[in-house]
Structure 1
Amino acid sequence: MVDFIPPFVIILLSIYGLLFKRHIISKVIALDVLNTGVVYLFVVIASKAGEYYPIKTEGVKNYADPFPQAVIITSIVIGFATLSLLLMISMLVVEKKKKTDIVKIEKD
């Protein structure tokens, strides 16, 4: 149970940043931290499955499942692409509106 506490702390802090920060880059960073917290949570969950590498060896029955590892790597790549796209869009919005405060941007 103690292993699950750090990912939940990261996720809760990032949700706080998403809800209460007004600067557009702060929200982008909080969204990236949320992605990192979710990936960390999946790593913790996947690490509980087995103790040995998924290479067939005689006498070993407790193999780690490689599927969650593949999903986590895919999630990291997709998160990086999403973050890059989000940063580009936020740069365009800030350049056009000349403001970094989300509330002021939404009012315009």
Structure 2
Amino acid sequence: MKLVGWSEVLKASYHKTAHEAVDLYLNVQHNLAQQKADDLDKAHTHIENKLPALRNHQDHWGAYVLLQEQLKNKKDTLAKAEKCEVGSKKEEGKKGVK
């Protein structure tokens, strides 16, 4: 989310809240469109309760953008970790083949 002109503390707070909502309510293997409606509603509510400034956004737009960004970041991080793990196992296999 482009938070131009916002303090680093405020940005960190928004990202932390979105991270919590993703961890608590959403399946990282699915994008937002694939999430269960009830889970998505819980995630929006979590963010809007902690960040009241986002309550006035039509159709949960502010919470949606934060969730979308955080879900993508989390999915990318997991994919990177899996890739590193696979690479590490290949290296171990090469060492044992000598």
Same-fold status (TM-score > 0.5): no
- Whichever of the two has the greater Rg, that structure is 1
**TM-score, reference length from structure 1:** 0.35
Q: Flag the structure with higher helix content.
A: 2
